C-alpha cells in the first residue's frame, strides 16, 4: 500500500461504512439449519488519511445484521478506547530468538511448498438438492479436495440420508465434518450425532447454544467414545469465553472467527491459549471476507505458535491447500463489486425485493 504526500504521522480524515449484500439466498448458498435463506453480507469500512493511506476492514453478517453492525463501526486513534477485553500486550519475548527465527524460515518454506490443509463447505449447504450435492462433490474431488463439511440439524432422517450419500461420494479415506449451527439442546445433540456416527465425522460443529460451555463439555464427553470431536467458537466474542471452553475440556477443535473477536490481538491470545491446552485451531470462515482474513491467522499459528498441522484445517472456497506471501490482512474489496452489491441502491438490489 502506497503512502502519498510524505506524511509520517497521518491523520484519519474520513470514515465510510457501506452495507454490502450478496443475494446468496436465491440459490440457497449458505443455507443451514438455523439460517434457511441468508444473504451473505458485510459492513465494509474504509479509513482515509490526509497522507493518502487507506485502511480497509469488514464484518461478516447475514444481511439484516449489517443494519446493526454498520452504525457502530468506528475507529479510535491508537491508544484510545483499548480495554482489557480487546487488547493484549507483548507476547513471546524470551531467549532463544535465533533458534525461533531459524524455525520460522523453515516453516515458511514448507508452507510455500505444500500449502495449509483446507476443507470446503460449498458442496453441502442444507438447501441443496441431492443432484446438486452430487455434482458439486464430484467437481470438488476432481479439483483435489479431500475434506468436506456438511450442514445438518433440520431433519434427522434427511441428515442420515445426505451424510451417507456424501460419504459414499467422497469415499472412506477422505475427511467428513458436520455442522448443526447451534440447532440442538445437549441431549438432542448427543442422540442426533450418535445416529450419524456411522459416516465417521471428524467433528460436530456448534452442536448447541454457543454460550453453553458446560453443555459443550457434556457433549464432548458423550461423543468421545465414538471418536467424534466438538468444534465451536465462531460465536465467542472474547478470549475469556475461549479460556473457559478450554479449561472445561469442551472443545476438541477451536474455531476462532476473524470478525467476531477483537481483530488480530484477541485472536492471537486465543491461539496461544489453544497451544497451551494442545487443542488444534481450525478457524471459522466461509462468509464474506472471512476466508481471506483467517489465512493469515492460521499461518501465524503454524509458523509462530503451534508448529503443527495435525488435525488443523482452514475453511476456504478457492484451493484445497493455501499458502500466501503477500503482506496485509486481505480486507480490501473490489470497488466494482461493492458498488454493484451495495444495499439498497446497488445495481443488484434495484431489481430484487428488499428484505
pLDDT for 296 beyond 90 = no
**Residue 63: other Cβ atoms inside 10 A:** 20
List the Cα angle 54/60/62 in 5-degree steps. Answer: 140
> Is the per-residue pLDDT at 155 higher than 90?
yes
Residue 326: pLDDT band (50, 70, 90) is low
Phi/psi of residue 205, nearest 5 degrees: -95, 135
Supply the DSSP symbol for 63: S
Q: What is the mean pLDDT of the chain?
A: 82
CA 202, 307, 200 angle in degrees (round to 5)? 5
| Closest C-alpha to 212, from 191, 185, 179, 238 | 185
How confident is residue 319, by pLDDT bands cut at 50, 70 and 90?
Answer: low
| Catalytic site positions | 151, 284
Contact 301, 125 (CB under 8 A): no
**How far is the C-alpha of 277 from the C-alpha of 253, rounded, in Å?**
11
Tell me how far apart the alpha carbons of residues 128 and 261 are, in angstroms, rounded to a whole number: 31
Indicate the DSSP class of residue 120: B
Looking at residue 208, its pLDDT comes to 97
Closest to 199 in 3D by CA, of 159, 254, 140: 159
pLDDT of amino acid 139: 95
Residue 79 is predicted with a pLDDT of 32
Write down the domain spans for the chain.
Answer: 12-76+332-350, 97-322
Q: For residue 307, what are the contacts with CB-CB under 8 A and spacing of at least 6?
A: 103, 107
DSSP-derived letter for residue 16 is: E
For position 295, what pLDDT does the model report?
A: 84
**62 CB-near residues (< 8 Å, 6+ apart):** 30, 35, 38, 39, 40, 41
What backbone phi and psi angles, to 5 degrees, belong to 213?
A: -65, -45
Q: What number is the average pLDDT over the span 315-330?
A: 62
| Identical fold between 12-76+332-350 and 97-322 | no
Complete DSSP assignment for 170-198? H-TTSEEEEE-TT-S-HHHHHHHHHHTGG
Topology of domain 97-322, CATH: TIM Barrel (3.20.20)
Kindly report, residue by residue over 64-123, the tens digit of the pLDDT. Answer: 777 766 554 443 333 333 333 333 222 222 223 333 444 455 666 777 777 788 999 888
Confidence (pLDDT) at 113: 76
Name which of 96-100, 158-162, 183-187, 218-222 the model is least confident about.
96-100
Specify the CATH number of the domain 12-76+332-350.
Answer: 3.30.390.10
Amino acid at each position: 500500500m502506497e503512502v502519498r504526500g510524505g506524511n509520517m504521522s497521518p491523520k484519519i480524515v474520513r470514515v465510510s461504512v457501506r452495507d454490502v449484500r450478496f443475494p446468496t439466498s436465491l440459490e440457497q448458498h449458505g443455507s443451514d439449519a438455523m439460517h434457511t435463506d441468508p444473504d451473505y453480507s458485510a459492513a465494509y469500512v474504509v479509513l482515509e488519511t490526509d497522507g493518502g493511506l487507506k485502511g480497509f476492514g469488514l464484518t461478516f453478517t447475514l444481511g439484516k445484521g449489517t443494519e446493526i453492525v454498520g452504525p457502530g463501526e468506528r475507529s479510535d486513534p491508537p491508544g484510545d478506547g483499548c480495554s482489557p477485553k480487546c487488547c493484549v500486550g507483548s507476547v513471546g519475548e524470551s531467549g532463544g530468538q535465533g533458534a525461533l527465527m531459524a524455525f520460522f524460515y523453515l516453516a515458511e518454506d514448507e508452507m510455500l511448498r505444500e500449502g495449509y490443509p483446507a476443507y470446503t463447505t460449498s458442496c453441502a449447504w442444507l438447501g441443496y438438492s441431492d443432484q446438486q450435492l452430487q455434482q458439486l462433490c464430484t467437481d470438488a474431488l476432481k479439483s483435489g479436495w479431500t475434506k468436506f463439511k456438511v450442514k445438518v440439524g433440520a431433519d434427522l432422517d434427511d441428515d442420515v440420508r445426505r451424510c451417507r450419500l456424501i460419504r459414499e461420494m467422497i469415499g472412506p479415506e477422505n475427511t467428513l465434518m458436520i455442522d448443526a449451527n447451534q440447532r440442538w439442546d445437549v441431549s438432542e445433540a448427543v442422540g442426533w450425532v450418535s445416529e450419524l456416527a456411522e459416516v465417521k465425522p471428524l467433528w460436530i460443529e456448534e452442536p448447541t447454544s454457543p454460550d453453553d460451555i458446560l453443555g459443550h463439555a457434556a457433549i464432548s464427553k458423550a461423543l468421545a467414545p465414538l471418536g467424534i470431536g466438538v468444534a465451536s467458537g465462531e460465536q465467542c466474542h472474547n478470549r475469556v469465553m475461549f479460556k473457559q471452553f478450554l479449561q472445561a475440556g469442551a472443545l476438541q477443535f477451536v474455531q476462532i472467527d476473524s470478525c467476531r473477536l477483537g481483530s488480530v490481538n484477541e485472536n492471537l491470545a486465543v491461539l496461544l491459549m489453544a497451544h497451551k491446552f494442545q487443542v488444534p485451531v481450525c478457524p471459522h470462515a466461509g462468509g464474506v471476507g472471512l476466508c481471506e482474513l483467517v489465512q493469515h491467522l492460521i499461518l501465524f499459528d503454524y509458523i509462530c505458535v503451534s508448529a503443527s498441522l495435525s488435525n488443523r484445517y482452514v475453511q476456504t472456497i478457492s484451493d484445497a491447500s493455501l499458502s500466501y506471501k503477500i503482506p496485509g490482512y486481505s480486507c480490501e474489496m473490489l470497488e466494482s463489486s461493492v458498488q454493484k452489491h451495495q444495499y439498497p441502491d446497488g445495481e443488484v438490489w434495484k431489481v430484487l425485493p428488499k428484505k
